[in-house]
């Protein structure tokens, strides 16, 4: 059953605590291999700093600690993060809907949660890593589909950079946003895109590309294809 837009409860900005909700259902997301984006010391450090201006500030998450003994030796979950434990969908919506920022940890990628947050007027902290080749732009990004969205809706923050980390949080705590939805995310628009994709004449398009290449024309790269070998 599709949820109705009217079911989305938006907590007024002035009624929300100075809360940052962590997008992490499992403790392993605090240190998740090549997708790790935040130094664990940042949580304690930022909590101490931000509480000077926002006395009720806190990091909150709802996650399951599934670590085995070996994992527990590798890292500890920051004590400055209040864990609400495993939440169902209704509880999750209620808890993060009271936050002033949904903070991505690097994982999971392409989750629908940032869109659910924006629909409730909660901006998203979208961490990214630099490109390995040193060129401008992002390398790994938790949500590449949201990377083009500007502040104050999405905060694109460089991984392991404390100044950017705490700076983005501070801006989010003082910058309300309206509930935000994109027309492209509506059910009827998604249904139309999916229908067009399924019903498209992919075979006919492939045959045309093949015939062009046989004729020495590469219509996909706008250059001569050279010899064609079947």
Domains of the chain: residue spans and CATH: 5-181 (3.40.50.2000), 184-224 (no CATH)
Q: Which of 114-123, 169-178, 194-203 has the lowest mean pLDDT?
A: 194-203
Mean pLDDT of 86-90: 90
Summarize the chain as % helix, strand, coil (round to 5).
Answer: 35, 15, 45
pLDDT of 224 over the 70 cut: no
- pLDDT band with cut points at 50, 70 and 90 for residue 154: very high
Q: Tell me the two tokens of residue 207.
A: 């045959």
- pLDDT band with cut points at 50, 70 and 90 for residue 8: confident
φ/ψ bin of 23: left (φ > 0), alpha (ψ from -120 to 50), beta (otherwise): beta
| pLDDT for position 1 | 37
Q: Which position has the token pair 């599934």? A: 66
pLDDT of 28 over the 80 cut: yes
């Amino acid at each position: 059953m599709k949820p109705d837009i009217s079911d989305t409860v938006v907590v007024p900005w002035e009624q929300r605590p100075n809360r940052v909700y962590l997008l992490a259902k499992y403790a392993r997301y605090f240190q998740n291999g090549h997708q790790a984006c935040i130094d664990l010391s940042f949580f304690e450090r930022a909590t101490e700093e931000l509480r000077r201006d926002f006395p009720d500030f806190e990091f909150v998450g709802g996650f399951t600690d599934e670590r085995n003994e070996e994992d527990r030796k590798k890292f500890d979950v920051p004590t400055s993060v209040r864990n609400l434990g495993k939440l169902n969908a209704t509880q999750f919506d209620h808890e993060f809907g009271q936050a002033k920022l949904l903070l991505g940890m690097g994982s999971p990628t392409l989750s629908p949660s940032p869109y659910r947050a924006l629909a409730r007027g909660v901006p998203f902290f979208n961490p990214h890593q630099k490109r390995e080749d040193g060129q401008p732009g992002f390398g790994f990004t938790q949500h590449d589909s949201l990377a083009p969205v500007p502040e104050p809706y999405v905060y694109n923050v460089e991984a392991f950079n404390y100044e950017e980390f705490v700076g983005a949080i501070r801006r989010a705590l003082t910058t309300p946003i309206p509930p935000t939805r994109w027309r492209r995310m509506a059910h009827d628009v998604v249904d139309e895109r999916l229908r067009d994709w399924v019903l498209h004449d992919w075979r006919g398009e492939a045959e045309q590309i093949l015939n062009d290449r046989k004729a020495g024309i590469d219509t996909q790269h706008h250059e001569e294809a050279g010899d064609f070998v079947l």
